[in-house]
């Protein structure tokens, strides 16, 4: 599991059935993130109604975490750092200059960027 699921707010935005479905698909998918579980089996495994399952996979598709075309699910990789940085900028969070380039960033640079964002001195 990737820490960005928490850090980037996926856990706050997704409901419990979406998270359960995502965890289940992560667990049963092959090396390419593919799973062929049918809806009936997924409902049984997750203990939910078909309408909740469909809502969950729709939410996961909208969040960019899975792709789905009956009968195939694919767990997708999380967006690369450059897109995360771009989203942060659009939310008025100003990352440090090194982060904008999506290259490696030292902890010191991250902390200096956070202090600068909060209006403190570097």
CATH of the domain at 21: 1.10.10.10
DSSP tag of 3: T
Query: What string of pLDDT tens digits covers the 122 residues of the chain?
Result: 667 777 777 778 888 999 999 989 999 999 888 999 999 999 999 999 999 999 998 999 988 889 988 888 999 887 654 455 445 434 544 333 333 334 454 556 556 655 555 554 44
**Judgement on whether residues 36 and 88 belong to the same structural domain of the protein:** no
**Which token pair is 33?**
């993130």
CB 11 within 8 A of CB 63: no
Q: What does the pLDDT read at residue 108?
A: 60
Same domain (yes/no): 92, 56:
no
**Domain tally for the chain?**
2
């Amino acid at each position: 599991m990737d820490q960005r699921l928490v850090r980037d707010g996926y856990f706050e935005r997704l409901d419990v059935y979406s998270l359960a479905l995502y965890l289940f698909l992560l667990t049963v998918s092959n090396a390419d993130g593919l799973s062929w579980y049918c809806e009936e089996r997924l409902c049984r495994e997750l203990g939910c109604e078909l309408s909740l399952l469909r809502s969950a996979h729709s939410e996961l598709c909208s969040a960019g975490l899975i792709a789905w075309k009956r009968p195939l699910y694919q767990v997708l990789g999380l967006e690369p750092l450059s897109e995360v940085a771009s989203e942060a900028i659009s939310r008025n969070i100003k990352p440090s200059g090194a982060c904008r380039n999506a290259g490696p960033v030292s902890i010191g640079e991250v902390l200096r960027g956070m202090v600068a964002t909060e209006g403190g001195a570097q």
